[in-house]
Amino acid sequence: MDDETGDSVPPDAKAEIAEAIGAALAKHGYERLTTAKIAAEYDKSEAGLYYHYDSKDEMIAAFLDGAAAAQAAELTDDDREDSETRLRAACERLFVAPGDERAGLHVAVMELLSHAPYNETLRDPLRELEGATLDALADIIREGVGDGTFREVDPDATAAFLLAAADGSTGFHVALEMDVGADLRRGWSAYVDSLLADG
Amino acid sequence: MDDETGDSVPPDAKAEIAEAIGAALAKHGYERLTTAKIAAEYDKSEAGLYYHYDSKDEMIAAFLDGAAAAQAAELTDDDREDSETRLRAACERLFVAPGDERAGLHVAVMELLSHAPYNETLRDPLRELEGATLDALADIIREGVGDGTFREVDPDATAAFLLAAADGSTGFHVALEMDVGADLRRGWSAYVDSLLADG
DNA sequence: GTCTATAGCTAGATAGAC
DNA sequence: GTCTATCTAGCTATAGAC
């Protein structure tokens, strides 16, 4: 979990930069994210960033790699719960509301996704991030189908549909702040209900 | 449908600019959309755009107003079909695949949505666009619940969940081109199945 | 490894002729 | 109404001192 020495080490420069990028992305989004704003969240200068990375997008790509790993870990964490509980917990995490501390970052990821067609550097890390989430959801659903919690639904189709709904809610619910919070919750909750066996 | 004279008139400057914006947005997205690229799709110069609008975002806002009206019209068009057919047709329209002629524009709208928190000029037109789609879906579902085609589902919750899924599919399916086309179709199709009465 | 200073570029918007 | 030319601002990335 630490470096080769096994000792607890202070965060290295790259980890500090990743943290700065996360904070700056959440505050400003991607288009308005400048290296000056990243440096403002970092305790060093703008030029210092370029000692560790060759371009701004490489820094963001590194941040996204970390985010994919963290996302996979969090959705896989609660192995001891039953699959309905795990799926509902995943939905609580993935459907964010305006004001949630993750809201800014979700909007920024949405913006990054929309830039993927034009940005080769970001494409692969974003595929990892979305793929990790998709896999985690499919695993939960597959387990629930296997043990009889859920009906015989297609785990991949169900996971894709559910992740799409969570991602898409970020646009009109979070970014536009349209008054649909209660509708969305009833929507995903009813969807999970509809997956249950015997229902 | 035309101007006060009742005659068929040539498209005015604003309509031509809106068309140019649609084409340029689909090709380049929003961040990379410059006034030079809009002018390239227009048959006039860059400065000419500023005779009709005060800023780039005002041009885009006018384009979005038109898109909201067009979206509402297309989803409301087939009044004579039964509600299951209408809902499936709406899904076919809203879930686009990479390569679809609407793909570029869907990604651009996703990008615009992600900028809404930072851009007051775009926020209202985007709310109109998403609101028009949401209303059209809810109307279809409400009608289907009323005539017994669908179960007693909540039309607003169902519409919000379905629009979220369609919007969100644009990210990983269209922008990232992840191989989830078949999964997504099975996903939304099974969801519509689950709304049917007697199912 | 980190800094200050700046090169080099590109964008949105305007001025003024026609 | 439409043009060409240009102003001004803000960005990424680098040079060179320390």
**pLDDT band, residue A80 (cuts 50/70/90):** confident
Is B118 an interface residue toward A (CB < 8 Å)? yes
**pLDDT band, residue B77 (cuts 50/70/90):** confident
Average pLDDT over residues A122-137: 98
Any domain includes B138:
yes
Any domain includes B79:
yes
Nucleotide with the nearest C1' to A37 CA: D11
Q: How far apart are CA B173 and CA B169, in angstroms?
A: 5
Is B107 an interface residue toward A (CB < 8 Å)? yes
Contacts of residue A9, defined as CB under 8 A and 6 or more positions apart, other chains included, come to: A2, A3
Among A171, A113, A163, residue whose Cα is nearest residue B177 = A113
What is the residue-averaged pLDDT of chain B? 94
Q: Which domain covers residue A60, as residue numbers?
A: 55-195
> Is A107 within 8 Å of B114 when comparing Cβ atoms?
yes
Based on the number of CB atoms within 10 Å of its own CB, is B162 exposed (0-12), middle (13-18) or buried (19 or more)?
buried
Any domain includes A28:
no
Nucleotide with the nearest C1' to B51 CA: D1
> Is B116 within 8 Å of A176 when comparing Cβ atoms?
yes
Any domain includes B15:
no
Any domain includes A116:
yes
CA of A15 to C1' of C2 (A): 17
* Count of structural domains within chain A: 1
- The set of strand C positions with any atom below 7 Å of a protein CB reads 1-5, 10-16
Three-state SS string over A8-73 comes to CCCCCHHHHHHHHHHHHHHHHCCCCCCHHHHHHHCCCCHHHHHHHCCCHHHHHHHHHHHHHHHHHH
Any domain includes A147:
yes
**Closest residue of A to B31, CA-based?**
A31
Average pLDDT over residues B131-142: 98
Q: How far apart are CA A36 and CA B99, in angstroms?
A: 37
Nearest amino-acid residue to D10, taking CA and C1': A34
A134: which chain B residues are within 8 Å (Cβ-Cβ)? 172, 178, 180
What is the domain-level CATH number for residue A123? 1.10.357.10
Residue B3 has pLDDT above 90, yes or no: no
Is A131 an interface residue toward B (CB < 8 Å)? yes
Average pLDDT over residues B14-37: 98
The one-letter amino acid at A190: A
> Is strand D less than 7 A from the beta carbon of B44?
yes
Per-residue pLDDT, B8: 54
Average pLDDT over residues A150-176: 99
Q: What's the whole-model pTM score?
A: 0.95
**Closest residue of B to A187, CA-based?**
B157
